[in-house]
């Protein structure tokens, strides 16, 4: 069959329009998940060992990318929303299959992840395959950015970004309010339900707040507690951190602790990731898919 003839003027107009729109020309290679990952890896820098937690976890890296989504955790609900939105590449902060390496464990459960015959593992893999999705974990390298996007993203969601005490720290000096009102603001701004828990005096004056998305260790809490009126963490080890906060209150100190849920605390940082991805991948849309607070409030 003869190839259709295209005039030089038509070809110039076609190539110019395609370049402006940043879409591939007819017949050109489509942007693949691997292409996006390579661009991201170059932008973030550092080493990307195959044994590390970051990298492709499910799907075919050669899949053409129609849309990108970022999320704190690629739950089945998030994957369904991604597919419905026409997304093919999902960047997740936490593991998809509940283990550091995200692959099927050879035997048993626990730190290694789910077994290959686990119903959740199978359901997610089947959904990813049948909907042409690709999942890439992005955690350690996203944390290396000097902007500390996980903290700044959370601060922006709470309306506290301008109150940061030091550029490289997570301490914020917010307008003074009671602990009760501050906790209510956190609940409202992050759309939290049953996952938020607070310890301390409800009427205590809150001015200095430390934000710690993810897991706060006892050592970090004990080191920073004296600097703050309120610690806001994703999750803690209850028997240490929570009851330490309770003992501090009982001993007469006006300090408090709020936990909002690990993934809920990381959601805003992955919204920042979606905005950053738009600056390095302009050919396809990027959006944020929050996991949200999965707990329901008991009556």
Q: For 16-35, how does the pLDDT look when each residue is reduced to its tens digit (9 = 90+)?
A: 433 333 444 443 469 999 99
Predicted confidence band at 243 (pLDDT cuts at 50, 70, 90)? very high
Instruction: Identify the burial level of 92 via C-beta atoms within 10 angstroms of its C-beta, where 0-12 means exposed, 13-18 middle and 19 or more buried.
Output: buried
| 293 pLDDT above the threshold of 60 | yes
pLDDT tens figures, 253-265: 889 999 999 999 9
Which pLDDT does position 154 carry in this prediction? 98
Query: In this structure, is residue 243 part of a structural domain?
Result: yes
Residue 281 CA to residue 91 CA, distance in Å, equals: 13
* CA 55 to chain centroid: 15
What does the mean pLDDT of the chain come to? 88
Gyration radius (Cα) of the chain, Å: 23
Query: In this structure, is residue 293 part of a structural domain?
Result: no
Query: In this structure, is residue 163 part of a structural domain?
Result: yes
Which pLDDT does position 4 carry in this prediction? 42
Which pLDDT does position 184 carry in this prediction? 97
Same domain for 180 and 249:
yes
Give the chain's domain count.
2
Predicted confidence band at 5 (pLDDT cuts at 50, 70, 90)? very low
Same domain for 160 and 115:
no
- 153: domain range? 149-260
Query: In this structure, is residue 83 part of a structural domain?
Result: yes
Same domain for 248 and 164:
yes
Contact 277, 141 (CB under 8 A): no
Which pLDDT does position 90 carry in this prediction? 98
Which range, of 158-162, 232-236, 237-241, averages the lowest pLDDT? 237-241
Same domain for 166 and 134:
no
Which residues is 211 bridged to in the sheet? 232
More confident residue, 249 or 13: 249
Which residues is 134 bridged to in the sheet? 89
Residue 155 CA to residue 166 CA, distance in Å, equals: 13
Query: In this structure, is residue 244 part of a structural domain?
Result: yes
pLDDT tens figures, 72-126: 999 999 999 999 999 999 999 999 999 877 866 555 444 467 888 899 999 999 9
Domain CATH number, residue 103:
3.40.1390.30
End-to-end Cα separation, the chain, in angstroms:
71
Same domain for 271 and 243:
no
Same domain for 284 and 137:
yes
Which pLDDT does position 109 carry in this prediction? 47
Query: In this structure, is residue 46 part of a structural domain?
Result: yes
Same domain for 126 and 36:
yes
Residue 272 CA to residue 186 CA, distance in Å, equals: 18
Query: In this structure, is residue 238 part of a structural domain?
Result: yes
Contacts of 109 (CB under 8 A, 6+ apart): 115, 118
Query: In this structure, is residue 210 part of a structural domain?
Result: yes
Same domain for 186 and 54:
no
| Token duo for residue 153 | 């993203």
| 178 pLDDT above the threshold of 60 | yes
């Amino acid at each position: 069959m003869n190839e259709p003839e295209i005039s030089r003027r038509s070809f110039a107009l076609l190539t110019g329009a395609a370049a402006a729109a940043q879409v591939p020309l007819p017949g050109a290679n489509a942007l693949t998940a691997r292409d996006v990952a390579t661009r991201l890896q170059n932008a973030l820098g550092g080493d990307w060992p195959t044994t590390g937690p970051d990298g492709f976890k499910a799907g075919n890296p050669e899949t053409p990318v129609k849309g990108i989504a970022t999320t704190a955790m690629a739950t089945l609900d998030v994957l369904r929303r991604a597919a419905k939105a026409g997304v093919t590449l999902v960047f997740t902060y936490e593991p998809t299959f509940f283990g550091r390496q995200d692959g099927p464990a050879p035997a048993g459960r626990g730190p290694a992840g789910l077994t290959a015959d686990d119903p959740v593992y199978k359901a997610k893999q089947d959904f990813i395959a049948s909907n042409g999705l690709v999942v890439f974990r992005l955690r350690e390298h996203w944390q290396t950015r000097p902007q500390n996007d996980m903290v700044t993203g959370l601060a922006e969601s709470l309306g506290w970004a301008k109150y940061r005490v030091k550029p490289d720290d997570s301490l914020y000096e917010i307008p003074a309010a009671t602990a009760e009102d501050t906790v209510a603001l956190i609940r409202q701004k992050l759309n939290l339900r049953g996952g938020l828990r607070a310890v301390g005096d409800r009427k205590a004056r809150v001015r200095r707040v430390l934000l710690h998305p993810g897991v706060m260790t006892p050592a970090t809490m004990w080191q920073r507690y004296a600097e703050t009126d309120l610690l806001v963490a994703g999750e803690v080890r209850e028997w240490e951190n929570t009851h330490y906060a309770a003992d501090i209150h009982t001993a007469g100190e006006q300090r408090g602790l709020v936990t909002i849920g690990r993934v809920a605390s990381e959601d805003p940082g992955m919204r920042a990731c979606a905005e950053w991805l738009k600056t390095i991948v302009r050919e396809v849309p990027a959006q944020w898919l929050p996991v949200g607070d999965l707990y329901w409030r008991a009556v």
